[in-house]
């Protein structure tokens, strides 16, 4: 069986909330998927010791260069992450297509993914609208004390 995750991460890769704020956000997200027509298998916060790749599973295939509009396979990013596996604190790169400077966290992926030291994962959420809307993301950001974005992952 496959799993779908809504992975909520801060917009700044190194930022982490206070534990109480993370718990409030988990409680809020759990509440969004409660009720007779909604369900979720799990909602949990995770604090990573180091910056981690928050991928989208099989969803992401490529990214588009903002400088030259070339489309590059996501394998290039994954290989780079594997090379830097001990230290992802420096996300600055020169892109393979044109050599432009970019940050891995800011690339235009065909399905969003990112880098973070904190995430909230929502496993197999079921409701009429799967992903979080802007108001819901804003509320999670308010609760944790920092703007957030979502990564929709399928494994």
E strand or H helix at 61 = none
pLDDT number for residue 85: 75
CATH of domain 1-57+116-155: 3.30.70.260
Q: What is the pLDDT of residues 68-111, one digit of tens each?
A: 999 999 999 999 999 887 788 889 999 999 999 999 999 999 99
C-beta atoms surrounding 63 within 10 Å:
23
pLDDT number for residue 38: 83
What does the domain layout of the chain look like in residue ranges? Answer: 1-57+116-155, 61-110
pLDDT number for residue 129: 82
pLDDT (mean) for 10-32: 97
Name every residue whose Cβ is closer than 8 Å to that of residue 130 and which is 6 or more positions away in sequence: 4, 6, 152
Q: How confident is the model at residue 39 (pLDDT cuts 50, 70, 90)?
A: confident
Q: What is the pLDDT of residues 50-79, one digit of tens each?
A: 999 999 999 999 999 999 999 999 999 999
pLDDT at 139 over 90: yes
pLDDT (mean) for 120-144: 94
Strand boundaries in the chain, DSSP class E: 4-10, 42-54, 62-64, 71-73, 92-94, 101-103, 108-109, 114-123, 148-154
Lowest mean pLDDT among 2-11, 48-57, 124-133: 124-133
d(CA 10, CA 8): 7
> Token pair 């992802």 is at which residue?
88
What is the pTM assigned to this prediction?
0.92
- 95, 72 contact by CB (below 8 A): yes
d(CA 6, CA 25): 13
DSSP state of 126: B
């Amino acid at each position: 069986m496959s799993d779908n995750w809504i992975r909520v991460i801060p917009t700044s890769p190194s930022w982490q909330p206070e534990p109480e704020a993370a718990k409030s956000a988990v409680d809020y997200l759990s509440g969004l998927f409660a009720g007779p027509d909604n369900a979720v298998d799990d909602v949990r916060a995770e604090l990573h010791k180091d910056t981690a790749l928050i991928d989208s599973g099989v969803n992401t295939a490529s990214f588009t260069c903002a400088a030259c509009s070339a489309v590059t396979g996501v394998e290039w990013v994954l290989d780079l992450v594997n090379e830097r596996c001990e230290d992802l604190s420096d996300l600055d790169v020169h892109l393979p297509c044109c050599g432009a400077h970019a940050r891995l966290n800011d690339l235009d992926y065909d399905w969003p993914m990112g880098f973070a030291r904190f995430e909230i994962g929502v496993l197999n959420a079921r409701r009429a609208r799967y992903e979080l809307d802007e108001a819901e993301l804003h509320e999670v950001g308010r609760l944790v004390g920092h703007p957030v974005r979502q990564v929709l992952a399928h494994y």
